[in-house]
Amino acid sequence: MKKEEIMRFLLKSIEDRRWSESAQNQAVNAIKFYFEKVLGQERTFYELRPRKSQKLPGVFSEQEIIALFKAIENLKHRTILMLIYSAGLRIGESVKLRKADINLERKSIFIKAGKGKKDRYSVLSDKVVLLLQEYIEAYKPDYWLFEGQDGGQYSTRSIQQVFRRAVAKADINPYSTVHTLRHSFATHLLERGMDLRYIQSLLGHSSSETTEIYTHVTKKAREKLYSPLDFLDIDKPTKKT
């Protein structure tokens, strides 16, 4: 097993299982013990240990985003990943979307929050609106926006596999995860001058002091919001399956 494969495993576990820094250290210690003590290999995994200042897997550049989406020909796969980036979704939120949560006319998406969190709305890019129209016409989803083969929710594992294949084909950051799209959404909006308060509202971030500011955006303010995907030149997908 190569060091890069172990790094991908750690990053995937951090995203899927939400490992704390302590849990990451325990995993690294176990990996080090096995390879260095059991197999007798050289000390090669010391740089895997998490750094407090580097908790995120990074952010894609806009050109990397373009390369990623151009690497996906399947209509359903491209729609899922472009929607995640376009609206700043968590992977778990994307698979829980219902068809009724999408308002193509208002270019908005309703995101039902988990326990202890607040529901929110986010924006739909003009490009994603067109893509969703094409996707819905082609796949005709019933209840869930993205259905699995049995008609239930599409799995997060399937999305991760689609993402990994696209990353490899586009030849971009191999240590990135689906969550990198969400971080890129926020970063690209900030770089284009959007008010940080609006970005935090779209992401669903809040604190005891700023909850009301960050979770309530007026209709007038929402009209000024946009998706970073609107600025990217991306071709249409060519394949349904």
Q: Give the model confidence (pLDDT) of 204-223 as tens digits.
A: 766 423 323 322 333 444 55
Q: What is the mean pLDDT of residues 94-109?
A: 95
Contact of 145 with 101, CB cutoff 8 Å: yes
Domain count, the chain: 2
Judgement on whether residues 43 and 127 belong to the same structural domain of the protein: no
Give domain status of residue 221, yes or no.
yes
Give domain status of residue 238, yes or no.
no
Q: What is the mean pLDDT of residues 81-92?
A: 94
Judgement on whether residues 72 and 39 belong to the same structural domain of the protein: no
Q: Which domain holds residue 37?
A: 3-48
Res 29: pLDDT: 82
Each residue's pLDDT tens digit, 139-192: 999 999 999 988 899 999 999 999 999 999 999 999 899 999 998 888 888 778
Catalytic residues: 90, 115, 179, 182, 205, 214
Judgement on whether residues 187 and 94 belong to the same structural domain of the protein: yes
State yes or no: pLDDT of 196 exceeds 80: no
**How far, in Å, CA of 106 to CA of 233, rounded?**
23
Q: Give the CA angle between residues 230, 98, 105 to the nearest 5°.
A: 45
Give domain status of residue 240, yes or no.
no
Judgement on whether residues 204 and 115 belong to the same structural domain of the protein: yes
Res 28: pLDDT: 78
Burial readout 18-30 (b: 16 or more C-beta within 10 A, e: otherwise):
ebeeeebeebbee
Crossing angle for the helix pair 178-191 and 196-203, nearest 10 degrees? 160
**How far, in Å, CA of 158 to CA of 98, rounded?**
18
